Amino acid sequence: MAFTRGLDLTGPLREVIDRGASFVPRALDERYLHNLRRELGAGAFQRFQEEFGLVRQRIDGYDIKAPFDGFPLVGELAVDLRDLVRGHGKGIRGVATWAPNEAGVARYPRDSFGITPHLDGKWYRRLVAVFTVFGTARFAICRDRGGEVIASWDAGPGSLSLLRGPGLGGHRDGRPFHTVGGPRRGQGCSLGLRMSVRSPN
């Protein structure tokens, strides 16, 4: 099992609907997390473009598409999270058919400033889940692209940040602006799980 024993997402899912985001400090089992770090480290990292539109970032990474061939632990996490969200989110519009089919690995080098305020793609429907694999960084929800912080937390290893996507709980859009700082020390790495409805082409 990828998650810590007894993990309950009922409250965090309700908070995502109301506020756009929520944070779970300890979500992943430590042994699973150790093995996941090794699995992701073997992936084909590429430096991301540093500027796109008004957003700036200094990260490298790669995406993995379902069925997550070559990444069995990512596949396990996607299934476990799907089942947990559906079970703990009963009655919330959109969760009954939510199934993550894409994973995004992001690694923050020592000199990274992270990612400036941005919205996730509107093709990532209902819920975006971001797990911190290693390192600690400030994760903040912003009022708008200007960067006024309305909520923030220190996302450390094994933590989970949940973000509202289009179609969750009756919200037509509902995506929050958010930013991720550079790692407090050393490097950092996160794994995002999302349900993409964008055509591969």
pLDDT of residue 197 exceeding 90: yes
- 112 falls within a domain: yes
| Banded pLDDT at 126 (limits 50, 70, 90) | very high
Angle between helices 10-19 and 72-88 (to 10 degrees): 80
CATH number reported for the structural domain that contains residue 192 in this entry: 2.60.120.620
Compute the average pLDDT of residues 14-43.
97
In a domain, 177, yes or no: yes
If we measure between CA atoms, which residue out of 13, 21, 11 comes closest to residue 174? 21
Residue 5 lies in a domain: no
Q: Which domain holds residue 30?
A: 10-196
How large is the average pLDDT for residues 27-36?
Answer: 98
Q: What pLDDT, on a 0 to 100 scale, did the predictor assign at position 198?
A: 86
Burial of 137 (0-12, 13-18, 19+ CB in 10 A): buried
Asked whether residue 1 is assigned to any structural domain, the reply reads: no
Is 126 a domain residue? Answer: yes
pLDDT at 115 over 80: yes
Is 69 domain-assigned? yes
Tokens of 57: 């970032």
pLDDT of residue 124: 98
Query: In the structure encoding, which two tokens stand for residue 60, read together?
Result: 């490298």
Is 154 a domain residue?
yes
Number of domain units in the chain: 1
Q: What is the pLDDT of residue 53?
A: 87
Non-local CB neighbours of 187 within 8 Å, separated by 6+ positions = 107, 108, 109, 110, 134, 135
Is pLDDT at 52 greater than 90 in this prediction? Answer: no
Tell me if 114 is assigned to some domain. yes
**86-110 pLDDT tens trace:** 999 999 999 999 999 999 999 999 9
Cα(66)–Cα(15) distance, rounded to whole angstroms? Answer: 28
Say whether pLDDT at 200 is over 70. no
Q: Which residues of 178-189 are buried (b: 16+ CB within 10 A; e: fewer)?
A: bbbbbbeeeebb
End-to-end CA distance of the chain: 34
